[in-house]
Amino acid sequence: MEINNDTLSNASSGEHSKHQNFKVPGLVSGFSKLNRNQRIDLLNTYLDEDAIDLLNAFLLPDEKVQQVISELSENFLSNYYLPFGVVPNVLINGQMYMVPMVIEESSVVAAASRAAGFWAKNGGFSVRVIDNLKKGQVHFTWSGSERFLKSVFLHIKEQILADTAPVTANMELRGGGIVDVELLSLSHKLENYYQLDVTFKTADAMGANFINTCLETMAVTLSNFMSQYSDKGQLEIIMSILSNYTPQCLVECTVTCPVEKLEAMSGAYLPQEFARRFALAIKMAQVDVSRAVTHNKGIYNGIDGVVLATGNDWRAIEAAGHAFAARKGTYSALSDVEIVDGYFKYTISLPLAVGTVGGLTKNHPIAAFALKMLRNPSANSLMQITAAMGMANNFSAVASLVTSGIQKGHMKMHLVNMLNQLGASDLQKEAARKFFANKTVSFAMVSDFFKKCN
């Protein structure tokens, strides 16, 4: 598509913002039909700088790989890089892993590495998958009687299983398929609202496409079947979609050691004092939502890093985890702690619907490499590894919080970001590292140091 005059004049007629030194774009039509150069031209009509050099500088030299990335989503302009790092010494159920992580927060890999190293010497992470079931629903309304709908449901179910058989055949060969189809009435919450509530096993796939295809097939079957009873009521399909709430796709990770072994993490505190303070911090996160959200965010620092590195859907994982944290009616910590008979035992339980086949896992070369680093795990193994990294980050964060505080380590890791922001050379960075080795780091102090050494 050509950029038409309307499009250009709309974009360039944007007014200069009062507060910022750039124009606001006007209404653009047909943007997704433009090619990349046209999109950038259009951007240049309202940006007061040439975007093309910057956006081109971040393209990959391998055109084939670049094309895979470019085609992942619409309106592609350039790549957006994040660091791909690794956490060594992750001992999970007796197996050692080097775990890949993609994360922008400078202290996360360091925090995970610290905890992983500690637990590798103290029995490692014990992780078990409690279940690996997914759900999806056909949401519909039925104006007739609930009793009638229930009376014909077994026939509907039979027909549904027959109609979805071609869709599920392959998945069944891989150990997955439809586990159950239930009829739920939600008409006490919303007039005439019902669901086909379907449970799936999706083997090593996250299974979104499989589930949605099954559900859409079921919706047609349901609608066709009920059309013969139009004298009894009207059935209207509203939508068919998987649920990202996956409380039956649950994993539990535990670490345990004699309390005295915690000395390596206890800073200025005796290990017994450290354990007591740690346990209190967890109880606080269990009873107070302000603390619980931050506590769980610390867990997701580790989880999202692995989820992103392995090409999984971190929005789905986060949404499920936070809903699970609120399952009892109040948002709470996803972890629990016990100190019994001189032993410290710390446990995290959360839903983790990850996949190791399909989606980005093969398409994205770095995601495929990340899975290779993990010895091409099954979905269950990836759930275990991911949960362990959530535990590692959370354990490290809480250990710091109840001893030295978080800022000391965090700001040390952040030092290089501040120096980069100030445009420091390698020599200046080295000098700053030495200067701040035993000092508290703040942006004011770093920029002061930078001014002096310029």
What is the set of active-site residues? 105, 297, 313, 410
Q: Using CB under 6 A, which of 10, 113, 301, 310 touches ligand MEV?
A: 301
- Would you call 5 helix, strand, or coil by DSSP? helix
Exposed, middle or buried by CB within 10 Å (0-12, 13-18, 19+), for 29? exposed
Nearer Cβ to ligand MEV (39/414)? 414
Residue 346: CB minimum distance to ligand MEV, A: 13
Neighbours of 413 (CB within 10 A): 16
What are the strands, taking DSSP E only, across 61-133? 84-92, 95-102, 126-132
- Measured between alpha carbons, how far is residue 259 from residues 122, 251, 381 in Å? 11, 25, 29
Q: Name beta bridge partners: 338.
A: 345
Nearer Cβ to ligand MEV (297/322)? 297
Residue 341: CB minimum distance to ligand MEV, A: 27
Q: Using CB under 6 A, which of 23, 36, 128, 297 touches ligand MEV?
A: 297
Residue 294: CB minimum distance to ligand MEV, A: 4
Neighbours of 144 (CB within 10 A): 16
Residue 307: CB minimum distance to ligand MEV, A: 16
Nearer Cβ to ligand MEV (297/429)? 297
Distance CA 49, CA 42 (A): 12
Calculate the CA 436 to chain-centre distance: 34
Nearest CA to 120 out of 402, 410, 390, 388 is that of: 388
Residue 419 interacts with ligand MEV (CB under 6 A): yes or no:
no
Strand order in the sheet with 193-201: 177-185, 193-201, 134-142, 235-243
Task: Show the tokens assigned to 452.
Answer: 């002096």
Residue 417 interacts with ligand MEV (CB under 6 A): yes or no:
no
Within residues 390-409, the interface with ligand MEV by CB under 6 A covers 397-398, 401, 406
Nearer Cβ to ligand MEV (215/348)? 348
Specify the stretch interacting with ligand MEV by CB under 6 A; choose among 39-47, 296-304, 359-367, 414-422: 296-304
Site string for ligand MEV, 104-123 (x = CB under 6 A): -x------------------
Residue 220 interacts with ligand MEV (CB under 6 A): yes or no:
no
Place of tokens 């919706």: 219
Residue 294 interacts with ligand MEV (CB under 6 A): yes or no:
yes
Residue 324: CB minimum distance to ligand MEV, A: 18
Which residues bind to ligand MEV, rule: CB under 6 A?
105, 294-295, 297-298, 301, 397-398, 401, 406
